[in-house]
Structure 1
């Protein structure tokens, strides 16, 4: 076509548009039309000042709609030339015809497979997010739903698609639900996991050409038969530019030539919302799936059991929830197996079997290509960390000799496969992934041994900086230890199982102060349970080796914990331990002997044997005079000695003498700025003030003490302050307020696992109830 003919057809188009809209073609529209009449394909059309995507995805579709309305004919890039030529030759027939752009049809063309479940359970946040992204009010047109195999990606996408389909057929876009003219589903999934095992897909759509054919089957008047790939691409993009389309590409990781598919999806017009499901993390707008929360997983277990007629106890449901790790496909498979008559223990074994159907479906395709590589070692080593692992810890225990650049690439690969998750500088994995990785690790016993040995070395170095901290102070520096606590527990348990005495003793020295302090601040049950377990191992281990200094030290440490727990059985064991430790005192330092005598005095106070307590305090004083100490350390020892002297006097009801003693203690503590000792002493002074009816003074001391205890997150001091405030309220005759303080104290005692104090305060509360 020569230039004169092209200009003539452009003028025809301009006259038609002017007649229809009272406005001529603008410069952009004229340029697009000229390029099309010159024979250019869609992807070759350009206009200076605009990106190719804007021209091809926005301006071209608008021009075709404008010409369609003006000519009364359906105009597309491959029909515009012929239509304008007919308009030039037969103007009256064309102009007099009327054309209305097609309105949304109630019947939506779609090829969605059947839902895998009749009721969608859980995932409320994720389905809401996906529907939000599918709305045309959201700019995203490429959306990825990623996660490990079996986590429910396809189920989620199909649920969203069916909701959109229902809204589209009922024309309910006004309700906020995304609507589409066409919904196209294509899947490259090779296997399905059903209740009886793995089921092979008959015809997975694994190529870009397969996707093209699926699109052509669903879109009206789109025929791509017998034309080149480039022309197919242009025809598909042109056809999709005139209708709202939801295109789902399921299981991208098994698609051939993934980059070509991704390029195709990226080039689609803005009328298309493309959703891919993949085990690999793609840089689209993501909806990331992990295991279901426990509550949702239990709901799914109960629903599937009811649907399949399986009777499950609450205990069995909990066991199944834990074993499946909240992975939906594992839950569905397990309930199906139970419905087929398999006992629950056999089903649980199948879930964790490295060669079983669940493991093969969820992990085999992702993990098998990694075998023998550093990424495989990182995956197996990470399974030994129950809590998110620091990158340095993971690398040093798994592959210490691999360079950093290669490590970063390996970790990125594991993340992209959804096998591990990264948050800041820590790595973690889902429970079912951990089970699989642990089973993999067992297949490499030599590597497992190396990993565990390196774990001991790394955590000994890590915990060394916490050795020698003051457990009695609020100024202890334990930053970073809490995040590693469960990982440390695993390493220490391994040391005990393997009989690693030297390493266990080193861990105890590094962590003893932390466990004592955290039992006071957070939970006696959690942290002091560890203390009791570890000391129960260390005492006989040191005795067998004749390591008497360690035996005496650990016996004393254990007895301190038992004394604080305070029940009769605890005090009896502490008494026995202290007796043995005292017999071994000459194997230890003078400072140890001094502290041991004081701790025995504390035990006697707990046993209400004040005469014996006084004897031991007197001996402590003699030992203090004989021991060479620095000025500050001597002052700390004097503070503790005076403190317990005051407690003996108070509990012997010698309040005035106790007051004098506690004031001396307070002065000493203030001189060395021992903050916790200051407020512990003030609490006793407040108790004395209550008994001496100096209630304003008591209130001032207790309110200040409570404020500081809460600021330092010391739950024990907080609870005791609250209990003392209850006493103060009783003295004031404010019984309702006294109940409130008692209940607050009980709440903190319960968090700490302080059963003796709970019983005491509850008895007190029952007395208050009787009085009111």
Structure 2
């Protein structure tokens, strides 16, 4: 089969994309196609000058494949690009003969001869401003939504595009308008882009943010008469000179009724007579589509803009940097994205400042200043009228919450004199100005808005101090409910609410540490200690236990400085238990040093603490495979338990745990009968106490013993049931242990493919949980299976 020249395929692809979208391939897309069609590289080899490999591979290529898939009606991927293009190209060549098929699925039939007249072009009157960017990046879903709303098939006569200042509302609308203009001029019947007979643009924007600062608009159109003048400028046949206002309205309606018109009112919030303008828009004939851009959320059919996602934000940064001749490392790009919060105008401003020679660090500081150019452009006109109102305090207080805040918490911190429902009108103001977002009963803000509000807090120190006090008090009280929970049992939905607040709780603890609020830190740790352990069980020990290590280190030091030795002992034990769970040799060594110190401090604690300490030392030695030492410490723990004066349930729990670890020692030293005897005794107690998770932990060990003793049916029953229960409770740690045991069971059953599957799953599960010693054990089992 003869292949088609690559350059011809690119030209053909460009034609089809233009016909379908009214917009040709851009330079980046053509460069990717050139490499794919000519060099036939791997994805990793595709490069575009000025963009990182990651951006090309993860952003540009997927978007190009998606575009081509939509245009050609079948899935396009790296290895199918040429095949799809050649097939479509040959179909299009055949279509010049009578009776040919349509050019492409979903497109009209081609002309009967290659000499057919080109598509007609016409002049569409418009007054669109020049695009503010050299390439439109991101916002694809929002653009598609806007174009859909502009189509005659959608009934919405007025469409609002809203979001905070600088988020890209005008850029989006102008891009959509130019696409409509191109489709209208080309009269492309195959295009899905709406067409119009006239496009009218009017803007009340007072300032533009440029790299050198704020630039005042020369002639903002802020009145209804200004809009009328723009309409007559575009629709030349319309003459309103010397005509009374009421008659002007009639003439405009009658004239626009003969034209499919797109009317854009930019920056509605700075229009002087908003109600008159809105009334005018409502009374326009159905031939007119009106688009409003505004920082205020108005009850129209909305297209809502927030900050750009990371991939699009980085693409915009790279494009701006290339355009302005600025070289940025990936680290610099990420720092710039985080500083700007993904707000396009802030990105353009920052890169422009870099091009002018301003250091990146200084730019990042400027962006976060409440009196800086970015803040003034994005927020000043919205926030200034709110000062001395509860809405202003709500805005500033919300900045204290890094994660979405419950309305109850926000109101209590910001305006404690109000009930939560009494603050609703002020929250509605903030929502209406796009300064905050609401999802269910929680409130959040964009990163750049938060930086502005934090800067405002600094210039309101009295309110900031009072709000922080209330913020800390709220979370101390809120988390108190979760103290004294048992980390060894399933908690069901007990901690779901706490997870939603986790980032806020972290921020409170960090604030208390920074302010050296020892009592508050200690109380918060007691409230959260169990939950921090459970997070490691459900998510990852490596990721989630970093907080435990940081917080316990600070509390140990702070308690030592105050001579609070009972707290020193408790914090050392908590830290050591965390290190034992992480399990690396260096961490086990540090745990041993800590536990040795605690043993010398044991007189500052009661017998129950000492019994638990002896048990934890034994667990450490089991981890280090020092089994004789572990047995000695378990015997010491047994003596201390009997001396502790515990209640019967607590006594039973302590005895059970000692039996559990003794059973583990006997299993690991090969005495399965002794191990089974101890585990069965522990199992009876666990069932009596209704300690459900521990019941299944023990049964897992009994199943492992059954495997070693050849009782495979018993093991099968226990493991299958245990895995189902662990999955029902979403206990990822227990699931991983069951997977490992099922791999050993399948090996004993000579079902090696099943054993390999379970061992692989166990290794992946342990690695994801940060349980590295267990992951290594599963890996060793897997290697043994693969070698057999």
Give the TM-score, by structure 2 length. 0.82
Q: Can you list the C-alpha shifts for 1:150-175, whole angstroms capped at 9, x where unaligned?
A: 10000101111111111111223543
The structure with more radius of gyration: 1
Contact 1:252 1:276 (8 Å CA) reproduced:
yes
The yes-or-no answer on 1:162 pairing with 2:178 is yes
After TM superposition, the structure 1 stretch with the greater mean CA deviation from structure 2, 402-411 or 694-703, is: 402-411
> Which of these residues, 381, 385, 388, is aligned with residue 372 of structure 1?
388
> Any stretches of 5+ residues in structure 1 without a counterpart?
1-103
1:547 correspondence with 2:564: yes
Paired residue for 1:5?
none
Question: How far apart are residue 105 of structure 1 and its match?
Answer: 8.6
1:549-604 residue CA offsets vs partner (Å, 9 max, x unmatched): 22222221111111111112211222222222223333323322222222121112
Per the alignment, residue 634 of structure 1 pairs with: 651
Matched residue, 1:645: 662
| Matched ranges for 1:565-576 at <5 A | 565-576=582-593
Which residue of the other structure, out of 245, 268, 277, is the alignment partner of 1:252?
A: 268
Aligned-partner SS, 1:110: coil
Residue 507 of structure 2: aligned partner? 490
**1:584 equivalenced with 2:598 (yes/no):** no
2:770 pairs with 740, 753, 763, which one? 753
Distance 1:438 1:463 in 2: 25
**Partner of residue 152 from structure 1, selected from 155, 158, 168:** 168
Confirm whether residue 517 of structure 1 aligns to residue 539 of structure 2.
no
Distance of 2:364 and 2:514 partners within structure 1 = 26
What does 1:206-355 align with in structure 2 at a 5 Å threshold?
206-355=222-371
Range with bigger deviation, 464-473 or 569-578: 569-578
Counterpart among 444, 460, 471 of residue 444 in structure 1: 460
More displaced stretch, 307-316 vs 574-583: 574-583
Distance across 1 between alignment mates of 2:185 and 2:413: 57
What is the rounded CA distance, in whole Å, between the counterparts of 2:734 and 2:630 in structure 1?
Answer: 23
Give aligned pairs, total: 668
Q: Secondary structure at the match of 2:501?
A: helix
After TM superposition, list the pairs within 5 Å mapping 1:337-486 onto structure 2.
Answer: 337-402=353-418, 407-475=423-491, 477-486=494-503
Query: What is aligned with 2:623?
Result: 606
Q: CA deviation at 1:303?
A: 1.6
1:562 matched residue in structure 2: 579
2:187 maps to what in 1? 171
User: Structure 2 stretches of 5 or more lacking a match?
Assistant: 1-119
**Structure-1-length-normalised TM-score:** 0.84
Q: Equivalents in 1 of 2:182, 2:170: separation in Å?
A: 18
Q: Does the alignment pair 1:673 with 2:698?
A: no
Q: Is the 8 A contact 1:173 1:179 kept in 2?
A: no
**Deviation for aligned residue 1:429:** 0.6
Pairwise CA distance, 1:351:
2.0
Shift of 1:404: 5.1
Q: Which residue of 1 aligns with 2:74?
A: none
- Residue of structure 1 aligned with 2:679, choices 654, 657, 662: 662
Q: Is the 8 A contact 1:172 1:179 kept in 2?
A: no
* Aligned with residue 732 of structure 1, among 749, 754, 760: 749
CA distance in 2, matches of 1:287, 1:527: 38
Structure 2 Cα separation of the partners of residues 762 and 194 of structure 1: 57
Q: Hey, what does 1:40 align to over in structure 2? A: none
Q: Following TM superposition, by how much is the alpha carbon of 1:254 offset from its aligned partner in structure 2, in angstroms?
A: 0.6
Q: In structure 2, how many angstroms separate the alpha carbons of the residues matched to 1:478 and 1:405? A: 26
SS of the residue corresponding to residue 143 of structure 1 reads strand
1: CA distance, partners of 2:422 / 2:491: 41
Deviation at 1:660, TM superposition (A): 2.0
Paired with 1:105 and 1:400, the residues of 2 have a C-alpha distance of 65
**Any idea what the Cα deviations from partners look like across 1:41-95, whole Å, max 9, x if unmatched?**
xxxxxxxxxxxxxxxxxxxxxxxxxxxxxxxxxxxxxxxxxxxxxxxxxxxxxxx
8 Å CA contact retained: 2:542, 2:582? no
8 Å Cα contact 1:147-1:418 kept in structure 2 = yes
Out of 676, 689, 714, which is 1:697 matched to?
714
State the shift of 1:374 in Å.
2.0
**Comparing 651-660 and 751-760, the one that deviates more:** 751-760
Q: Indicate the larger mover: 504-513 or 730-739.
A: 730-739
Contact 2:411 2:419 in 1 (8 A): no
What is the SS of the residue equivalent to 1:115? coil
Contact 2:763 2:778 (8 Å CA) reproduced: yes
- Selected match of 2:729 from 699, 708, 712: 712
Q: CA deviation at 1:630?
A: 3.2
Is the contact between residue 121 and residue 186 of structure 2 (CA under 8 Å) also seen in structure 1? no
Deviation at 1:405, TM superposition (A): 6.0
Q: In terms of mean alpha carbon deviation, does 760-769 or 347-356 score higher? A: 760-769
Deviation at 1:688, TM superposition (A): 1.6
Could you tell me whether the CA contact under 8 Å between 2:537 and 2:733 is conserved in 1?
Answer: yes
Q: CA deviation at 1:333?
A: 1.4
